[in-house]
């Protein structure tokens, strides 16, 4: 009875732990068995790889990379004669192994006989092939046939790389079971064996046959383990592998003994050729890499094999399942015991101290878990960090719930000071209120009304506000449709973000689609303004994509979400080049959407504050799922029966030039005109035109001044007076010019302009002569 009583008392004393530890352990193990934690465990494995101490560069491997400069210089694909020359240059330096990570299966090329001869006389050359594995559905099924000459002498290796569910390469292959029943060695193993042939002693030759990866090893869940797979122990070094350009090898710019006694791997490193992969070293905290080239992935496999066999560098190993379960249960005990032991401490007048000590104890133990997993990986053991962390914190949460400190009570406490909506936001994303920002790629849209300052100067403030309310309200709806974030209203301008605070892959496309929708919505804006007897307005839009710092800027008492960086200023500069109804985008934005973008052409400009000229593109539509298109920015230009003489002056910055030039209008529309003049006016120059005409409708002479921007100019060849020109022209802003046929004056210069501001007394006349 005494023993039973003591046992009962002990269970009651530790009841919280007895409930929490088994419960959370079974829950976590169950999640692991159904694969729910696989992505988290793989992500943390990647992060541990990135956080490991850097290792020395593996000097046994040299990569000859075919980069973008090589592609431009030699074209792609490189011909057989050039490849023969490259391989001969490499062979002369007597490397131990040469790996050709290029597809070379065609025998009908002009230079192939010489290449075939080189293949047959180079016993340390390994070619590549890719073939579907007999059982490995996870392997790529796109075949790459081997070079026939190398296949005949079995100097080929498989470049199959099994992808994990998140698209990263963590596993390597030593051999494949081929459909014909044979076993094919991998590309990396073939090269490593050639290198090892030159060694007198291989101290750790057992590393050539490591245990096969099993379907549920480590954090994996039911993966395809066809062939002989292993976890690649990626070498994290500051410089990576020594890499030289193909052009430097061909031109003899490398050291004469650089390749001697080394494994030389030849492959593409040009981004445009798309032989790039995600590895544990790419992205995430502590990494400056984005992608890894295919040849470098195979170099990692070669380095893994050589380092294991020659240097005793550890391979990645995992525990047996029952040891992992015991590890998880142990951390659930630690987490639940920690919180349970704090329950009886007298907190009167010591709330701050209790909070500090409890937080420190949690941090120390969590840090110990983290450090133990990181150190274990350094010694080659992949321990289950995520399940242990969930068990540790989950045990504490269950104990806390048992002691009635629940999430509902926390919400009730905060709701005394904040609304339920704010409390929900705070609890789900507490970092959202922190000051500071993070670097991210965003697409910035800035729109501005053209000539609105002139309009507002002539109207009462109340009318100006009415115009802005109609304009901003309509634009806000168009922006919201494409999930843009309005960062700020700046007078008659709007600054919109795509990619902050929420990043999406199609940020640039949505920004352009939103811009087109905004321009299309301007028709309804002007219809409403006409009903309100307010003047018509026009808008220009500039879009740019780049990295900025996005976050909360201000103080603890007042802050706002904003983006900061030179790309914000560049967007404003691009927008300043627009005319009404026009959308201009930067080349970085165009690169994101070029497959679906429709443009009217491009121009090169040099904005203020930018050290070099940039290209900007005039957008007229976007395809894909958006399928939006702008109408022509003007009607077809109409030929005037009689040219109209004009005078004009040039606007520089905000100052009007003093020199007056003469010219004449030959063709005109409500939105633009063709001007003949003897003055050569650069594209994008702002002009102030003065003209005096007879209005047939009003039966009187009218005159006025029109502001315009030069969009295009040309110098026609000398023509005889009786000669005429007949062709269809399209301006940079795509003012459609109908087929024309009219006399041309000799030696005159033609300027095409877009009207930016037209006075009221000339608008009706422009419409009448354009009909």
Residue 190 contacts residue 129 (beta carbons within 8 Å): no
> Helices (DSSP H) in 93-226: which residue ranges?
112-120, 148-152, 187-197
Nearest to 382 by CA among 456, 319, 439, 331: 319
Task: Indicate if 347 and 484 belong to the same structural domain.
Answer: no
Residue 683 lies in a domain: yes
Question: Residue 528 has what pLDDT?
Answer: 92
Task: Indicate if 350 and 459 belong to the same structural domain.
Answer: no
Collapse the DSSP code of 18 into the 3-class scheme (helix H, G, I; strand E, B; otherwise coil) and give the result.
helix
Residue 619 contacts residue 584 (beta carbons within 8 Å): yes
pLDDT, tens digit (0-9, with 9 covering 90-100), for 747-763:
368 888 888 777 777 87
Question: Residue 699 has what pLDDT?
Answer: 73
Residue 41 lies in a domain: no
Last residue of a domain, one of 311, 335, 367: 311
Tell if the pTM clears 0.85, that is, is over it: no
C-beta contacts of 161-165 below 8 A and 24+ residues apart:
161/277, 161/294, 161/297, 162/136, 162/138, 162/223, 162/224, 162/229, 163/138, 164/42, 164/223, 165/38, 165/39
Task: Indicate if 513 and 398 belong to the same structural domain.
Answer: no
Residues of the chain with pLDDT > 90: what percent? 42
Q: What are phi and psi of 428, to 5 degrees?
A: -85, -35
pLDDT, tens digit (0-9, with 9 covering 90-100), for 688-743:
899 888 776 667 788 888 888 887 655 443 443 333 333 333 444 444 444 444 44
Residue 520 lies in a domain: yes
Nearest to 380 by CA among 303, 434, 313, 440: 313
Question: Residue 418 has what pLDDT?
Answer: 35
The CATH number that applies at residue 673 is 2.40.10.220
Examine the pLDDT at 180 and tell me if it is beyond 80: no
Question: Residue 1 has what pLDDT?
Answer: 59
Last residue of a domain, one of 599, 629, 659: 629
The CATH number that applies at residue 623 is 3.30.70.1230
Tokens of 80: 């057989």
Q: Where residue 217 falls among pLDDT bands split at 50, 70, 90? A: very high
Nearest to 742 by CA among 678, 670, 666, 671: 666
Q: How many angstroms separate the CA atoms of 111 and 116, rounded?
A: 9
Q: How many domains does the chain have?
A: 4
Task: Indicate if 148 and 239 belong to the same structural domain.
Answer: yes
pLDDT, tens digit (0-9, with 9 covering 90-100), for 481-525:
898 888 888 888 999 999 887 788 999 999 999 999 999 999 899
Question: Residue 354 has what pLDDT?
Answer: 66
Examine the pLDDT at 407 and tell me if it is beyond 50: no
Last residue of a domain, one of 629, 654, 686: 629
Q: Is the torsion defined by CA of 108, 109, 110, 111 positive or negative?
A: negative
Task: Indicate if 186 and 70 belong to the same structural domain.
Answer: yes
Collapse the DSSP code of 279 into the 3-class scheme (helix H, G, I; strand E, B; otherwise coil) and give the result.
coil
Task: Indicate if 696 and 615 belong to the same structural domain.
Answer: no
Question: Residue 420 has what pLDDT?
Answer: 43
Nearest to 444 by CA among 539, 502, 508, 504: 508
Residue 240 lies in a domain: yes
Task: Indicate if 157 and 25 belong to the same structural domain.
Answer: no
Q: Where residue 350 falls among pLDDT bands split at 50, 70, 90? A: low
Task: Indicate if 356 and 447 belong to the same structural domain.
Answer: no
pLDDT, average across residues 370-396: 92
pLDDT, average across residues 189-198: 94
Question: Residue 427 has what pLDDT?
Answer: 47
Examine the pLDDT at 636 and tell me if it is beyond 70: no
Residue 52 lies in a domain: no
Cα diameter, the chain = 127
Beta bridge partners of 306: none
Q: Between 638 and 311, whose confidence is greater?
A: 311
Q: How many angstroms separate the CA atoms of 659 and 555, rounded?
A: 52
Q: Where residue 443 falls among pLDDT bands split at 50, 70, 90? A: very high
pLDDT, average across residues 270-276: 89
Question: Residue 284 has what pLDDT?
Answer: 78
Q: How many angstroms separate the CA atoms of 378 and 316, rounded?
A: 9
Question: Residue 434 has what pLDDT?
Answer: 59
Terminal CA-CA length for the chain = 110
Tokens of 511: 């920004």
Domain that holds residue 717: 638-770
Q: What are phi and psi of 603, to 5 degrees?
A: -145, 155
Residue 120 lies in a domain: yes
Task: Indicate if 205 and 84 belong to the same structural domain.
Answer: yes
Task: Indicate if 449 and 489 belong to the same structural domain.
Answer: yes
Q: How many angstroms separate the CA atoms of 97 and 195, rounded?
A: 6
- Among 95-104, 647-656, 657-666, 730-739, the least confident range: 730-739
Residue 44 lies in a domain: no
Question: Residue 671 has what pLDDT?
Answer: 78
Residue 424 lies in a domain: no
Task: Name the average pLDDT for the chain.
Answer: 82
Question: Residue 70 has what pLDDT?
Answer: 93
Angle between helices 15-33 and 2-13 (to 10 degrees): 70
Task: Indicate if 611 and 728 belong to the same structural domain.
Answer: no
Task: Indicate if 543 and 690 belong to the same structural domain.
Answer: no
Question: Residue 451 has what pLDDT?
Answer: 75
Residue found by looking up tokens 């992505």 in the block: 39
């Amino acid at each position: 009875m005494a023993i039973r009583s003591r046992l009962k008392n002990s269970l009651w004393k530790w009841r919280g732990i007895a409930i929490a530890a088994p419960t959370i352990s079974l829950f976590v193990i169950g999640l692991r068995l159904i694969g729910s934690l696989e992505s988290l465990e793989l992500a943390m494995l990647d992060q541990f790889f990135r956080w490991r101490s850097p290792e020395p560069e593996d000097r046994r491997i040299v990569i000859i990379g075919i980069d973008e400069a090589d592609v431009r210089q030699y074209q792609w694909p490189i011909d057989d004669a050039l490849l023969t020359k490259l391989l001969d240059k490499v062979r002369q330096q007597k490397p131990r192994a040469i790996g050709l990570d290029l597809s070379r299966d065609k025998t009908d090329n002009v230079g192939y006989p010489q290449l075939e001869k080189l293949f047959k006389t180079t016993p340390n050359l390994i070619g590549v092939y890719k073939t579907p594995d007999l059982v490995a559905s996870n392997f790529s099924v796109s075949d790459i046939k081997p070079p026939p000459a190398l296949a005949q002498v079995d100097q080929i290796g498989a470049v199959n790389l099994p992808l994990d569910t998140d698209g990263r390469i963590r596993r390597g292959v030593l051999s494949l079971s081929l459909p014909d029943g044979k076993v094919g060695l991998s590309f990396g193993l073939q090269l490593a064996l050639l290198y090892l042939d030159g060694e007198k002693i291989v101290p750790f030759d057992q590393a050539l046959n490591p245990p096969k990866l099993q379907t549920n090893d480590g954090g994996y869940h039911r993966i395809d383990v066809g062939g002989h797979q292993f976890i690649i122990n990626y070498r994290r070094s500051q410089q990576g592998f020594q890499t030289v350009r193909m052009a430097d090898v061909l031109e003899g710019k490398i050291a004469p003994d650089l390749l001697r006694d080394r494994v030389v791997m030849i492959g593409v490193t040009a981004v445009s050729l798309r032989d790039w992969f995600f590895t544990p070293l790419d992205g995430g905290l502590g990494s400056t890499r984005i992608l890894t080239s295919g040849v470098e992935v195979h170099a990692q496999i070669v380095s893994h094999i050589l380092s294991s066999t020659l240097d005793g560098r550890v391979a990645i190993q995992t525990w047996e399942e029952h040891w992992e379960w015991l590890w998880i249960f142990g951390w659930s005990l630690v987490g639940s015991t920690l919180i349970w032991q704090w329950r009886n401490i007298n907190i009167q007048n010591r709330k701050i101290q209790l909070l500090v000590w409890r937080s420190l104890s949690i941090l120390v133990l969590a840090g110990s878990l983290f450090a133990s997993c990181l150190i274990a990986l350094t010694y080659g053991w992949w321990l289950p960090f995520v399940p242990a962390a969930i068990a540790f914190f989950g045990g504490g949460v269950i104990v806390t719930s048992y002691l009635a400190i629940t999430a509902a009570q926390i919400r009730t406490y905060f709701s005394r000071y904040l609304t339920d909506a704010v409390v929900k936001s705070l609890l789900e994303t507490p970092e959202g209120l922190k000051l500071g920002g993070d670097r991210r790629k965003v697409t910035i849209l800035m729109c501005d009304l053209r000539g609105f300052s002139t309009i507002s100067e002539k109207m009462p403030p109340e009318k100006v506000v009415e115009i802005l309310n109609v304009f901003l309200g309509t634009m806000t709806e168009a922006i919201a449709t494409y999930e843009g974030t309005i960062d700020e209203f700046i007078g008659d301008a709007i600054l919109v973000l795509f990619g902050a605070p929420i990043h999406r892959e199609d940020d640039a496309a949505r920004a352009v689609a939103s811009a087109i929708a905004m321009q299309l919505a301007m028709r309804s804006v002007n219809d409403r303004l006409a009903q309100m007897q307010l003047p018509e307005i026009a808008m220009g839009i500039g879009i740019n994509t780049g990295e900025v710092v996005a976050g909360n800027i201000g103080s603890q008492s007042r802050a706002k979400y904003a983006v900061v960086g030179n790309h914000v200023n560049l967007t404003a500069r691009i927008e300043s080049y627009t005319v009404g109804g026009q959308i201009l985008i930067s080349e970085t934005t165009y690169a994101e959407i070029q497959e679906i973008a429709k443009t009217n052409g491009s121009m090169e400009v040099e904005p203020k504050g930018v050290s070099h000229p940039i290209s900007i593109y005039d957008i007229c539509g976007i395809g894909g799922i958006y399928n939006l298109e702008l109408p022509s920015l003007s009607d077809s230009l109409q030929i005037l029966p009689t040219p109209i003489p004009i005078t004009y002056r040039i606007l520089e910055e905000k100052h009007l030039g003093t020199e007056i030039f003469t010219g004449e209008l030959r063709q005109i529309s409500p939105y633009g005109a063709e001007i003949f003049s003897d003055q050569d006016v650069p594209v994008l120059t702002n002009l102030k035109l003065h003209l005096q005409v007879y209005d047939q409708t009003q039966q009187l002479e009218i005159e006025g001044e029109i502001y315009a921007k030069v969009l295009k100019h040309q110098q026609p060849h000398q023509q005889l007076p009786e000669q005429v020109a007949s062709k269809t022209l399209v301006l940079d802003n795509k003012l459609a010019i109908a087929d024309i046929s009219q006399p041309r004056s000799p030696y005159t210069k033609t300027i095409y302009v877009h009207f930016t501001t037209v006075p009221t007394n000339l608008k009706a006349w422009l419409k009448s002569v354009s009909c």
